Structure 1
Amino acid sequence: MTDTGTAVALTPAAQDRALPQAPLSGMAALSRFGIPLGLAGLGGGWSAARSSLGSPVWPEEILYGAASSLWLILTAVYVFRGLRRKGAFRADLRHEVAGPFASFIPLVGILLSSHYSQYLPPWGAWLCMGFIAALASVAAQLLAHWVTGGVSMQSIHPGYLLPVVPGFFVASIGFSSIHARDAAMASFGIGAFFWLVVGTVVTVRVMTGGELTAAAKTGLSAYLAAPATANIAWMLSHPGPVGAVQLGLTGVLVIMALTQVMLLPEYRKLPFTQMFWVFTFPVGATANYSIRWLATTDLPGREIYAFTILGLATAFTLVIAARSVLTAIAPKSARLATPQSTEVR
């Protein structure tokens, strides 16, 4: 994703004083991890369809394979560049804008190792626990920086939810995938706690701190990512009939999904950038849970509804991917189309 895509929500008056002076070189590199995150999220939706609807296995394997390849490449590039700049990761982690995106690296690792643990026991389980530990380390460093005055209120944006809310709900999903139910519940508790605490701070900033910048508005999709991952985490750790907690979480997901629908006119005004990949993970996670929830009901035609939701989520991700490719090649095409000098030398 681009540096522009990670712009913070600032009021015009406060923009100059709120922007930090820290190096910005890692911002684009960290935010690009949203691409494999979105692909893995959609892969989870197809995994749910395979287990609940008997869909073929190849779509999820293609998605997880693509996410794995991109994640490995992006991680190698980021680490290689970081080795040439002492304290690079620490500087990126402490950056007011880019800091929360550091959680994308272990977050994608959890999703991938959770999936492949079924093929690589016990190595997959150990990898999953290692990535969860890495996420916890990143989240703890971010929290320590935040609570010691490391950020200003104007610099806070919805992306601050990702490391400590959807992040720990995904960790709970990872623990459930390796049959560590007690650890899954502990992770769920962490995510629920910070959903209340950090979610309140972010919402106060969004509601009272002035209008979000165009690029920062894409981060509002984090409000959908939180209940989507919470629902999946609770369902996996509590198999069986749907209980009161699951129904309550489902209600939150429904109202957050409706809110995203109401925000569509705002999203349509935004110029397309690679930051639009931030929408794909919440959409994939919502499709994932919707398929799992429909499988627990006796709703007539539930298979049709489930495949329709999954099809829409897949089409949405493919459109984002196609637009990203076109956006990437457009500048090259423009340069090639620029008339060259005909002067004879």
Structure 2
Amino acid sequence: MTTTRPSPYRLAPNLFGIGFGTAGLAQAWSAAADTIGAPEWPSYVLWILAAVIWLVTLVAYLRNVIAQRRLGSEVPNPVTGPFTALAVIVPMLLGIGLAPHARTAGEVVCAVALVLTVLLGGWLTSLWIRSDTRLAQWHPGYFLPTVAGGLIASGCSAILGWNTLAHVMFGYGLICWFVLGSILLLRLFTQPALPTALVPTMAIEVAPPVVAGNAWFAINGGRLDLVAELLAGYAVLMVLVQIGLAGTYLRVPFGPGHWAFAFSYAAAFTNGVHWLAAEHVHGQRALTYLLLAVATLAFVALAARTVLGLVRRDFLPRVPADPAPAPSAPA
């Protein structure tokens, strides 16, 4: 009887960042279609690609954690646990991509994913409160379950016309950002540097103000007001911080963690598209296409490097080898 050989790779939940980033770029193209009448086919292709990537990742990830008996320890893990939220956040975005073509199906997908996101965010928050996690173990991925989950849920709800829910989820995500943002900046300012594999998570720092900005534009109909302007002010600071961190990022070996850049930066470009429309900037069309070109080329470069890593078999982390048994003492 043949036995299945266990996988030599350890699939971590940050792999869901690939589908997350793809959905983020799809959002940028969708925003451009709404504001300047850009072609819709790129967003259609990206939405379908994001759905396929999410499904393939989900199946591969679940098979891996079950085979390696990690199913019960994944969510409580202080390092990788926050990334598990992406498994339920991505379908919220997919529901928005589906809704223009199949309204009821899109609403159901979005609603189910929203409920799961809120439940997981609440459970993780209670876990962080009662567990003995050290400040040095925290990283910007802790934004994902409640801050990203809440603000994305707000924007999705507004797009679907669920206005009251959009406001509720905006408050949910915003307050969580204020609380967790303070903790995470304290960690980054005062504690030892992040482990090398987690350095790319600092790209997530730019996400809260731009994702909140995109959600607010969806809520208020794309108008500029005090809330949009305040969010933009902090977004400018975080973009400048990212530029300052470029040298640090370049020193990190390529791996799944680099997909933390994809959604965060795509959301920033999407916010830029909305701002160009709201301000009626001269040359809006050309500037919007410039933003899309930069975002798309960066995504292609990230995807190409990922494919190369998979071919070379150095993209996914391997399961640590068991230490060799100590030699027995001579008789």
> 2:57 maps to which residue?
74
Percent identical among aligned pairs is 28
1:113-136 deviations in Å (ceiling 9; x for gaps) = 111012112221122111000111
For 1:74-153, what aligned pairs fall within 5 Å after superposition?
Answer: 74-81=57-64, 88-153=70-135
In 1, Cα distance between the equivalents of 2:147 and 2:22? 20
In 2, Cα distance between the equivalents of 1:28 and 1:199? 28
Query: Which one of the candidate residues 132, 157, 164 is aligned to 1:175?
Result: 157
For residue 92 of structure 1, give the secondary structure of its aligned residue in structure 2: coil
Q: Any gaps of 5 or more consecutive residues in structure 1?
A: 1-24, 333-345
1:63-116 deviations in Å (ceiling 9; x for gaps) = 111110111122223344556677x54421100111101100111110101110
2:285 equivalent to 1:303:
yes
> 2:318 maps to which residue?
none
CA contact (8 A) 1:26 1:98 kept: no
Query: Which one of the candidate residues 6, 9, 13 is aligned to 1:30?
Result: 13
In 1, Cα distance between the equivalents of 2:225 and 2:207? 21
Query: Which one of the candidate residues 253, 256, 265 is aligned to 1:283?
Result: 265
Query: Which one of the candidate residues 200, 205, 208 is aligned to 2:187?
Result: 205
1:40-70 deviations in Å (ceiling 9; x for gaps) = 0000000011111111111111111111011
In the superposition, relative to structure 1, how do residues 231 and 27 fare at CA in structure 2: closer, same or farther (>3 Å)? farther
CA contact (8 A) 1:170 1:229 kept: yes
In 1, Cα distance between the equivalents of 2:22 and 2:222? 28
Offset, 1:298: 2.9
In 2, Cα distance between the equivalents of 1:158 and 1:268? 18
In 2, Cα distance between the equivalents of 1:199 and 1:241? 26
In the superposition, relative to structure 1, how do residues 84 and 263 fare at CA in structure 2: closer, same or farther (>3 Å)? closer
Query: Which one of the candidate residues 303, 314, 328 is aligned to 1:321?
Result: 303
In 2, Cα distance between the equivalents of 1:190 and 1:328? 38
C-alpha RMSD over aligned residues:
1.8
CA contact (8 A) 1:68 1:112 kept: yes
Offset, 1:294: 0.3
CA contact (8 A) 2:26 2:43 kept: yes
2:4 equivalent to 1:52:
no
How many residues matched? 307
> 2:23 maps to which residue?
40
Query: Which one of the candidate residues 165, 170, 194 is aligned to 1:188?
Result: 170
> 2:232 maps to which residue?
250
In 1, Cα distance between the equivalents of 2:261 and 2:202? 9
In 1, Cα distance between the equivalents of 2:143 and 2:132? 16
> 2:201 maps to which residue?
219
Offset, 1:213: 2.4
1:232-270 deviations in Å (ceiling 9; x for gaps) = 001101115311111111111111111111111111122
Runs (4 or more) in structure 1 with deviation over 6 Å come to none
CA contact (8 A) 2:273 2:288 kept: yes
In 2, Cα distance between the equivalents of 1:219 and 1:241? 31
For residue 74 of structure 2, give the secondary structure of its aligned residue in structure 1: helix
For residue 96 of structure 1, give the secondary structure of its aligned residue in structure 2: coil
CA contact (8 A) 1:125 1:178 kept: yes
In 1, Cα distance between the equivalents of 2:219 and 2:108? 19
CA contact (8 A) 2:217 2:223 kept: no
More displaced stretch, 274-283 vs 76-85:
76-85
In 2, Cα distance between the equivalents of 1:81 and 1:163? 22
In 1, Cα distance between the equivalents of 2:272 and 2:201? 22
CA contact (8 A) 2:14 2:256 kept: no
In 1, Cα distance between the equivalents of 2:156 and 2:185? 28
1:179-211 deviations in Å (ceiling 9; x for gaps) = 101101100101111111111111111111112
Q: Any gaps of 5 or more consecutive residues in structure 2?
A: 1-7, 315-331
> 1:4 maps to which residue?
none
> 2:3 maps to which residue?
none
User: Which amino acid is the alignment partner of residue 42 of structure 1?
Assistant: L
Offset, 1:331: 4.1
